[in-house]
Amino acid sequence: MTDDIEEKAEMFAAFSHPIRRQMLEYIVEEEEATYTMLTAKFELKSGPLYHHLRRIKKFVYQREDKKYCLTDEGKKALALFKGEEEPKPHGIIEEEKPKVFSIGKFSLEPLITFFVKNPYHIFIEFFILVAVFGYLASAYGIIVLGNFVVNFEASLWLVYVIMIASWLFTAGLTEILARFVYKKKRNTIRIFGVSWLVFIPAFLFILVSWLIGLTSATTIIVPSFVLLILHGIFQIWSFLILTTAIGSLKELSKEKSVIISLIVIYVQVFVLIFVMLS
């Protein structure tokens, strides 16, 4: 009983200033808030803003990307203060928390996190990949569509355009599904920043084929059944990258992340069939 009284006393002390209560309500509405968003919304300078944040530090936490979110205690306190029904018990909330896709101990989360925390790498590695990948694809008379490699002679510039279009299509469709189906608007730029990783297996395949052909002075012809197996591997990689990125950046459950990834891959397959039949 004493603990409950002390908890409520702490809550009302923290909420005694209307701005602090409004901050929590604003963060709930936006799902997350940056320092800049808070200063602009409440017209506060650094000193007063940090003072208010310190007073509600039990109810608000700052993620690694510097964005503020409500803790479970914050959600509960805000609901109690507003006279609403208390949130579900912690155990149920835990089940709804985002879960990054993993197979045993294997997870691509460290790879996604690396590029999220080091955005300049996105430009370096991506443009190297596009430059080398585009040239080799053009020289081999193939084209890259999503994470597929298709025999199709095209000019170098067309290969570049299709590669970039495939990247934007994959990232854009992922973002649209997360935003409009599950109402997750956060980290849009980061989704675009990591989705190009789906191209890596196809890039390595073309690069290795070119190097083998260069050293042996022969043209490498890959049997159709081998290509089929490789495309299966490419699809699995694409699925793992997208599912991990969606779970990490959009904070969706594993199940919802999987649904979005599968839809994106299915659409890629239908687009490929349409192109091949055209």
With beta carbons less than 8 A apart as the criterion, state whether 185 and 155 touch.
no
**By percentage, how much of the chain surpasses pLDDT 70?**
83
**Given pLDDT bands bounded at 50, 70 and 90, which one contains residue 120?**
confident
CA nearest 256: which of 168, 176, 181, 164? 181
pLDDT tens-digit series, residues 135-161: 877 777 777 776 677 777 777 788 788
Task: Of 27-36, 215-224, 236-245, give the lowest mean pLDDT range.
Answer: 215-224
Give which of 213, 234, 232 is closest to 222, Cα–Cα.
213
Residues 34-41, mean pLDDT to the nearest whole number: 83
pLDDT, mean over the chain: 78
Cα dist from 275 to 61, 145, 150, 268, whole Å: 48, 9, 10, 11
Q: Which of 143-147, 228-232, 242-246 has the lowest mean pLDDT?
A: 143-147
Report d(CA 198, CA 45) in Å as an integer.
43
Q: What is the Cα–Cα distance from 176 to 193, expressed in whole angstroms?
A: 15
What would the mean pLDDT of 51-73 be, rounded to a whole number? 80
Distance of alpha carbon 257 from alpha carbon 242, whole angstroms:
8
Name every residue whose Cβ is closer than 8 Å to that of residue 263 and which is 6 or more positions away in sequence.
Answer: 173, 177
- Please tell me which of 107-116, 235-244, 250-259 the model is most confident about, judged by mean pLDDT: 235-244
Q: Which one-letter amino acid corresponds to residue 73?
A: E
Least confident of 20-34, 111-125, 137-151: 137-151
pLDDT, tens digit, 9 for 90 and up, residues 1-24: 455 566 666 677 777 778 888 888
Evaluate if pTM is beyond 0.85: no
Q: Which residues does 7 contact at the CB level (< 8 Å), separation at least 6?
A: none
Q: Please state, for a pLDDT cut of 90, what percent of the chain lies above it.
A: 9
CATH number of 2-96: 1.10.10.10
Three-state SS string across 212-242, please?
A: HHHHHCCCCCCCHHHHHHHHHHHHHHHHHHH
Domain ranges of the chain: 2-96, 102-277
Angle at 222 between CA 221 and CA 227, to 5 degrees: 155
CA-to-CA separations, 63 to 67, 116, 119, in angstroms, rounded:
5, 13, 17
Average pLDDT over residues 191-218: 84
CA-CA distance, 31 to 63, in Å (whole number)? 12
pLDDT of residue 100: 64
